[in-house]
Amino acid sequence: MKKKVFATALAAIVTVLALVGCGNAASDSSQATNGTLIVGTNAAFPPFEYVGDDGKPDGFDIALIKAIGEKIGMDVQVQDMEFDSLVSSIGGKIDVAIAGMTVTEERKQTVDFSDSYYEAVQAVIVPKGASIATADDLKNLKIGVQLGTTGEFIADEIEGASVSAYNKAVDAVNDLNNGRVDCVIVDKNPAEVFGTQFSDKVDVLPGTNFNFEPEHYAIALPKGNTDLAGKINNALKELKEDGTYDKLVSQYIEE
């Protein structure tokens, strides 16, 4: 009889522990545990992410995260949101973010990053024929940037610059075209896309002319979720080895 009571009590304790365990896992990363990966992006950063003809987010990052999802056996659901709110939404509204996001020490206080999947640098978009060529020429200018980006952090450090931050980089370029700002600082690949789109109005100058440092894009992950980080890094490695990564680069970036 005593034995039976003990066994029942033990079973109850085990059940409670199991439930508590599940509770923790669920609050850790609720969606990521049930086979769906909710991915935040900002679909206004071509060629990495933009709204496709079908109205859904498309681009290199979107194709890459879907390929990663396939490798790790998870459904990928993409949520389009402001770039500026991606980092703070990780572990809440979204599980991870892929958004041409540069690894920075400041962001690393809040999130972890996967291995880097692309190297970039900021570029400077200027009105055609403008006499802007070196770092010194950027001093005291009106500079357009995208809100919360490394372009904004760089512009904020430029002596005498007055910085206007926009939710979408293209809005900064529109203000360049109507003379409200003197130049735009934005990552080189979107800069090239805008350069082609407005080829009669703007020139795109490489950031190396202005001593900008290289930047590394990575997927932002919930802090401390080493299991998910490991799976994503393995998948990235496999996609590089099996040629999928190179295929996506030539499909989306080097068209």
Residues of this chain that bind ligand GLN (CB under 6 A): 42, 45, 83, 99-102, 146, 149-150, 187, 215
Which CB, 216 or 223, lies closer to ligand GLN?
Answer: 216
Which CB, 150 or 231, lies closer to ligand GLN?
Answer: 150
- 151, 172 in Cβ contact below 8 A? no
**114/95 Cα distance (integer angstroms):** 13
Residue with tokens 């995208």: 146
Q: Work out the angle at residue 86's Cα, subtended by the Cα atoms of residues 84 and 88, and round it to the nearest 5 degrees.
A: 95
Q: Least distance to ligand GLN from the beta carbon of 95, Å?
A: 18
Angle at which helices 60-72 and 226-241 cross, to 10°: 110
Sheet bearing 96-97, strands edge to edge: 75-80, 36-41, 96-97, 220-222, 111-113
Q: Least distance to ligand GLN from the beta carbon of 206, Å?
A: 16
For 72, 83, 165, 204, the CA distances from 56, given in Å and listed in that order, are: 23, 17, 25, 28
Q: Least distance to ligand GLN from the beta carbon of 174, Å?
A: 16
Which CB, 32 or 99, lies closer to ligand GLN?
Answer: 99
Q: Least distance to ligand GLN from the beta carbon of 80, Å?
A: 12
Residue 95 dihedral angles phi and psi, to the nearest 5°: -85, -45
Q: Which of 92, 114, 89 is nearest to 101 (CA)?
A: 114
Which CB, 131 or 211, lies closer to ligand GLN?
Answer: 211
Which CB, 45 or 198, lies closer to ligand GLN?
Answer: 45
Q: Work out the angle at residue 147's Cα, subtended by the Cα atoms of residues 145 and 149, and round it to the nearest 5 degrees.
A: 80
In terms of C-beta distances under 8 Å and separation of at least 24 residues, what long-range contacts does 107-110 make, across chains too?
107/220, 110/223
Which CB, 62 or 231, lies closer to ligand GLN?
Answer: 62
Q: Least distance to ligand GLN from the beta carbon of 69, Å?
A: 20
Which CB, 65 or 71, lies closer to ligand GLN?
Answer: 65
**67/78 Cα distance (integer angstroms):** 13
Q: Least distance to ligand GLN from the beta carbon of 252, Å?
A: 15
Q: Least distance to ligand GLN from the beta carbon of 170, Å?
A: 11
Residue with tokens 């799976």: 231
